[in-house]
Structure 1
Amino acid sequence: MEWSMFFVSIGIAVAGYFIGDGLKNFKNPNAKSLFDSLNEDDEHQLIKENDVHYFIGISREDTKSLIQEHSDIPHIIIGGKVYYPKDKLRKWLLNLGE
């Protein structure tokens, strides 16, 4: 009986948090939620050239051909090594098929 009341109270507290967060952003639908703020780190994260195929989800050879065919892929060079900004690469891939 004691554990069930504990879990019920935790559930009510969590529900209250999410309802309060929703009401806080009621008049501002473009406000960032808790989950969006967790993804903010992607904006400044860099992917090494050797690891970009993991992010794209294709083989290493296919990634090399994609990079050779599309010179406009967003990248930066630091100390002779090529890095790809994760957020810009994601947006570039979404616009690639259009």
Structure 2
Amino acid sequence: MDVFLGIGIALAGYFIGEGLKQRNQTKGNEQNDIFLIKERDIYFYIGLFLGITTTEAKQLAGDMADLPYIEINGKKYVQKHMLKDWTFTLVEKHQGE
């Protein structure tokens, strides 16, 4: 009987320890926020964030002069989380008008 109690306590300790290890790992959607978006796909993602079409996203975004981007080999890329923040800031500006 004492053997089963000891095994049960050992297993409980193991599972609690494994649960605590996984608690500090990043979630899948947090890793996707580092994702780089190509310049040609920006309007698609703006539409995706806001639930609008790509055409409506182009009208909303305008020239995107103040959008922070990364340039690699002459091509512009935007980090997903920065585009999301910029998009919601843009929407707030349009709502204030």
* TM score, norm. by length of structure 2: 0.49
Give the greater-gyration-radius structure (CA).
Answer: 2
* TM score, norm. by length of structure 1: 0.49
